[in-house]
Amino acid sequence: MLPLFDTPSHLALVRAWHSHSDPAYALMQHYSVSVEPVPYLFYYGFVHLLMYVAPIEIAHKLVLSVYLVAFPLSVAFLARSASRSPWLALLVFPLAYNRSWGYGFIAYLLGIVCGIVAFAFLIRYTRSGLRRDLLGFGLAITTTYFFHILPWAVFGLASALALPVARTPWKRSALAMGSTLPGVGALVWNAIFSAEGRSKFFDESQTPSTPGDWHDWRTRFAEFVQWCNDIVQGPMDTIVFAMLGVTVLVFFALAWRYRSPQPSETRVATRMLVVLLVCTAAACFLLPFSLYDPVLIWALAPRLAPLFVVALVVLPVVEVCGVRAVFMVPLAIANLLLLIQVSSLYRDFSRRNVSVLRMCDTLPRGKTVLVLMRGRTVETDIVTPLDPVASLPAYRHFRSWPMALLGGHSDRPFYQGIPVRPHVKYPSRDDNPNAYSLALGPYYDYYIVRGLAPDFDSSSVVTRITTRGQWSLYAHNVKN
């Protein structure tokens, strides 16, 4: 059981799409399918298709595995396309487990992978003029949009600026920018026909009055470091990131020390990579922390921090071979230690909380199940961690696990309009798990409660079925 923040709510929506027509899951009475050409569609569709051959948890873990493998490979492809050593991609392994991973922004991370591939194809196309490179760029940049709009916007801007900087002939530039039109068309369609009818993540009456939320420069720098590689409590991830920075500086020094006249193709690629670096730097340090209007993107600027480092990593023209490969050894060892620590923390988290999933496995499908946490300090925001598993909260979206596994209706799904739309926009519950009262309802078929719950044990409304570890399962007594 992975402690990825948003995962349960995303999987609840995929369940509503995949099992919508199955009456056993009782989803038709709560949701209608709403598949539209908008961002996130490919992420939900990816999991949806894999669910035909695997359970929903395994399907999602396959998607996670695709990202973890594709991320360094995409950077290697970018490096090779830019006449750099593909071994530089080994440096980005620490960036795979960044804060966006911890928050469960998997659609965004897959969009980053597709954006990197798109930019690599663009570099190749400015050099070769081949149709296959143009087609590769068009498919990759369009796929980026259907995963997430943020990397699509950043890579689209970088591509538009890189073409004149690379002194690309006007015909090639026109064809390259023309291949971005499917994404632009989808964005226009979304803005005109889809946005009005689509529900939002939050109650519109609570929409902030300002269009964005800006932070000061000192906070921005701290956020930059955190979002690159801060996924566990303690100094280990920061040490790994610092070693990454030192290793990159070493390779820049080697590139300067042994510099030689570069072929024109390498110089053009360098200029294009500098454009990507400048665009990502501007996005990291000039855009608002969060954007509220015209589209809601929480943590807009800081989640781009790893992309800035990627652009920096592939910039030096240096061969990574022989003795120079030794400079990667300290980072490799540190990264291995970090992965061992993360694996240990994840296993411990699963041991303590997998009872939620096992209890759901014992219940009939289509029932309403409420997950509550009692007896300890609660997660009152989306920043402060209260579990040693990570530097982020881990329990906020646990209420969506029953819907992801059993169907029915979740107390906390994302009301974003795709891939399903609720028939009724339910009011959001109080985040305080002690606020729910059996005396007041509304009542659910089952309750899964973490910690001591004397109000449940003393109530005639429910009956305790089983207790596993720190989690207890209660059934609602219909007669009461």
**What pLDDT is recorded for position 200?**
44
Q: Specify whether the CB–CB gap between 221 and 241 falls below 8 A.
A: no
Q: What is the DSSP string of 135-193?
A: HHHHHHHHHHHHH-HHHHHHHHHHHHHHHHHTT--HHHHHHHHHTTHHHHHHHHHIIII
Which residue, among 192, 244, 206, has the nearest Cα to 37 in the 3D structure? 192
- What would the mean pLDDT of 159-184 be, rounded to a whole number? 95
Give the confidence band of 199 by pLDDT, cuts at 50, 70, 90.
very low
Q: How confident is the model at residue 457 (pLDDT cuts 50, 70, 90)?
A: very high
Helix (H) or strand (E) holding 362: none
More confident residue, 428 or 433: 433
CA 8 from centre of chain: 13
pTM over 0.75: yes
Q: What share of the chain has pLDDT > 90, as a percent?
A: 64
Lowest mean pLDDT across 18-27, 40-49, 80-89, 222-231? 222-231
| pLDDT over 90 (residue 138) | yes
Confidence of residue 465 (pLDDT cuts 50, 70, 90): very high
Domains in the chain: boundaries? 7-341, 353-476
pLDDT range class, residue 381, cuts 50, 70, 90: low
Mean pLDDT of 391-409: 90
Q: Over 50: is that where the pLDDT of 204 sits? A: no
Above 50 in pLDDT, residue 190?
yes
**Cβ neighbours, 10 Å, residue 469:** 13
Measured over the CA atoms of residue 392, residue 396, residue 400 and residue 402, the dihedral's sign is positive
